Copies of this chain bind each other. A is one copy, B any other.
Amino acid sequence: MTQPAASPVRVTVWGENRHEQVEPHVAALYPRGMHGAVAEGIVDNLGDGALVRTATLDDPEHGLSEEVLASTDVLTWWGHAAHGEVSDEVVERVHRHVLSGMGLVVLHSGHWSKIFTKLMGTSCTLRWRSAHDRELVWTVDPTHPIARGVPHPMIIEEDEMYGEFFDIPAPDELVFLSTFSGGEVFRSGCTFRRGHGKIFYFRPGDQDYPVYHHEGVRRVISNAVQWAVTDRPERALPTLLRYETEDFFTGHGYGGAMADAAGEPA
> Is A153 in the interface zone, CB < 8 Å from B?
yes
Question: Residue-by-residue, is A162-186 near B (CB-CB < 8 Å gives 1, otherwise 0)?
Answer: 0111110110111001110111110
Nearest B residue (CB) for A82: B257
Within 8 Å by CB of A139, from B2, B130, B165, B243, lies B165
Contact B123 A195 (CB under 8 A): yes
Bound CA span A234–B142, Å? 12
Contact A187 B46 (CB under 8 A): no
Contacts of A260 in B (CB 8 A): 130, 160, 208
* One of A31-39, A57-65, A69-77, A245-253 at the interface: A245-253
Bound CA span A232–B149, Å? 8
Contact B185 A170 (CB under 8 A): no
Bound CA span A100–B116, Å? 19
Contacts of A143 in B (CB 8 A): 101, 193, 196-198, 230-232
Taking the full assembly, how many copies of this chain does it contain? Answer: 4
Contacts of A106 in B (CB 8 A): none
Within 8 Å by CB of A140, from B1, B128, B165, B173, lies B165
Contact A183 B181 (CB under 8 A): yes
> Is A242 in the interface zone, CB < 8 Å from B?
yes
Q: Which of A81, A166, A185 has the most CB of B within 10 A?
A: A185
Bound CA span A128–B244, Å? 9
Nearest B residue (CB) for A115: B121
Q: Which of A178, A184, A198 has the most CB of B within 10 A?
A: A184
> Is A194 in the interface zone, CB < 8 Å from B?
yes
> Is A23 in the interface zone, CB < 8 Å from B?
yes
Contacts of A118 in B (CB 8 A): 121
Question: Within A38-84, which residues are at the interface with B (CB < 8 Å)?
Answer: 44-49, 80-82
Bound CA span A41–B265, Å? 29
Question: Within A120-156, which residues are at the interface with B (CB < 8 Å)?
Answer: 120-123, 125-134, 136, 138-145, 147-148, 151-153, 155
Known: A123-B238, A207-B261. 19 other contacts (CB 8 A): A2-B47, A2-B48, A6-B6, A82-B257, A109-B257, A123-B195, A125-B240, A126-B240, A136-B183, A139-B165, A140-B187, A143-B193, A153-B248, A165-B238, A167-B195, A170-B174, A177-B177, A177-B187, A181-B183
